[in-house]
Amino acid sequence: MIKKFLVVLSCAVIIIGALHRVHLKYLNHGPAPLIIINLDDPAEYADARIPGSINIPLGFYNPSHDIDEYAESLDKRSNIIVYSSFHTHSAPGLAAKRLKDLGFEKVWAYEGGTVEWVQRGYPTQGPQKKEWLKYSREWPAGCTGYSGGQPTIDCVALKDKMTAAGLLKG
């Protein structure tokens, strides 16, 4: 009885080891993940956000601090989109620049933000009760954005990337 148990146990260990290696191989060589980072304060994030986004609020005094800590856990091949609530915020450009400085190559600032996403009627998480969601998303005269020269992505391209990554239904 003990002999059968040891044989079954050793087979289980071999199978688990093989599965673990396959999983690691997929993680290291599979498709680059799409990561969407919301930079707003937690209250704004809780009210309305792009589905699947994670909240990393940029600190006022040290805007790169939280991004640096989070970036340590990411695959450098990741496709990263950073956004905030409103198109007049500079946070996405600052965060995109910081991620580029840390060695990430595929980083985009989504300047339209939560306001544009909600007003377009795209899928959103949260109750959407805040008044700021109704503000105009029109650019002020003469303004070309606040991305700080970082690559940007528009809402249609973001929605397409999310659909292709399985984060939204087509």
Question: What is the tens place of the pLDDT at every residue in 79-117?
Answer: 999 998 876 667 888 889 999 999 999 999 998 899 889
In-domain check, residue 170: no
Residue bearing tokens 């580029």: 100
Q: How many structural domains are present in the chain?
A: 2
Asked if residue 151 and residue 101 are part of one domain, the reply reads yes
pTM of the model: 0.74
Domain shared by 115 and 130, yes or no: yes
User: In this structure, what CATH number is given to the domain that contains residue 64?
Assistant: 3.40.250.10
Q: How many CB atoms lie within 10 A of CB 132?
A: 13
Structure tokens at 131: 């008044």
Q: Tell me, yes or no, whether 149 and 111 share the same domain.
A: yes
Domain that holds residue 3: 1-30
- Write down how long the chain is: 170
Q: How far apart are CA 145 and CA 88, in angstroms?
A: 7
pLDDT at 3 over 90: no
